[in-house]
Amino acid sequence: MSVIPGPLLYEGKAKRVFASDREDVVLVEFKNDATAFNALKREQLEDKGRLNCQISARLFELLEREGIPTHYLGLLDETWMAVQRVEVIPLEVVLRNVATGSLCKQTPIPAGTSLEPALLDVYYKDDSLGDPLLTEARLELLQLVTRERHREMETLARRVNAALIPFFQGLELQLVDFKLELGCNGQGELLVADEISPDTCRLWDLRTQDPQARILDKDRFRQDLGGVIEAYGEVCKRVQGACPNPRNYR
Ligand code: TMP
Ligand code: ASP
């Protein structure tokens, strides 16, 4: 790598973030650790880091082509990418196109209900609190972001959804829901940060109707369905087919 890795800045459940010799650039290593239910369930899945890194890189590039700013700068190797240093806003923005998961556990909305417009849920990112769902009023009370920044975050998240739905549709994948993390760079610009991968999206294979076989995301791990890496590999294969040459960071 031409960029020189510096000290470890942060280690999360699925990634490590390192400083670099460039002030505004940090290096992200995607790990093979899989966790669910706030890390109560934990496993090493050989190759997961590479698959999520490769998928994320291409999805970030797709967003950029749509004019959506992201922290992504380029790949360094199979499991590492360079990204802009951002201050991550401790909120998780979830967009739901089809009702499933926690929405159906917490409300009587039947699983499979199509949600148009997509439902946007905001969670407070704090493992010790179990990432609670926030109301608009609680979000205001927390004063993490101004009202304008909050609106900007929602607009950006909906633009991401609008870009990803047809892209995945073209790969015969249905984007059921996904989680985004957003951050601000040194210039105060709002960017899509973190990752976009089968760890953070629900993706259903449109080539089958079978309710279990169609699951190509982390739900396979959460629900002990097996074939997690095969599913991520299938997503990666289709995404790579559409975007064969991601850029390298120099
Ligand atoms: P949920 O239905 O469990 O609330 O999940 C909604 C979406 O958010 C789904 O695509 C999985 C993703 N997600 C994460 O990326 N991280 C998390 O910690 C959780 C709970 C969900
Ligand atoms: N990301 C969370 C965890 O690692 C939960 C999940 O994705 O289901 O525990």
Q: Which ligand has the shortest distance to the CA of 106?
A: 1
Residue nearest to atom 14 of ligand 1 (CA): 200
Q: Using an 8 Å Cβ cutoff, are 46 and 219 in contact? A: no
Pocket test residue of 11, 33, 38, 200 for ligand 2, highest count of atoms within 8 A of CB: 38
> Which pLDDT score is estimated for 94?
99
Residues of the chain with CATH 3.30.200.20: 5-84
Residues in contact with ligand 1 by the CB-under-6-Å rule are 94, 101-103, 131, 177-179, 200-202
Distance CA 239, CA 245 (A): 11
Q: In what order do the strands lie in the sheet with 25-30?
A: 5-11, 15-20, 25-30, 80-84, 72-75
Pocket test residue of 37, 103, 129, 224 for ligand 2, highest count of atoms within 8 A of CB: 37
pLDDT in tens, the chain (250 residues): 689 999 999 999 999 999 999 999 999 999 999 999 999 999 999 999 999 999 999 999 999 999 999 999 999 999 999 999 999 999 999 999 999 999 999 999 999 999 999 999 999 999 999 999 999 999 999 999 999 999 999 999 999 999 999 999 999 999 999 999 999 999 999 999 999 999 999 999 999 999 999 999 999 999 999 999 999 999 999 999 999 999 999 8
Distance CA 146, CA 175 (A): 30
Using a 10 angstrom Cβ sphere, with 0-12 exposed, 13-18 middle and 19 or more buried, the burial of residue 19 is middle
Q: Which ligand has the shortest distance to the CA of 12?
A: 2
Was domain 87-226 assigned CATH 3.40.50.720?
no
Bridge partners of 194, per DSSP, are none
- Taking the centre of ligand 1 as the mean of its atom positions, its distance from the CA of residue 42, in whole angstroms, is 16
> Which pLDDT score is estimated for 1?
60
Q: What is the CATH number of domain 5-84?
A: 3.30.200.20
Q: Using an 8 Å Cβ cutoff, are 177 and 95 in contact? A: yes
DSSP category for residue 241: H
In 61-197 the beta strands, taken as DSSP E runs, fall at 72-75, 80-84, 87-88, 91-98, 114-124, 173-184, 190-193
> Which pLDDT score is estimated for 147?
95
Residues of the chain with CATH 3.30.470.20: 87-226
Q: Looking at this protein, which amino acid is placed at residue 244?
A: P
> Which pLDDT score is estimated for 250?
87
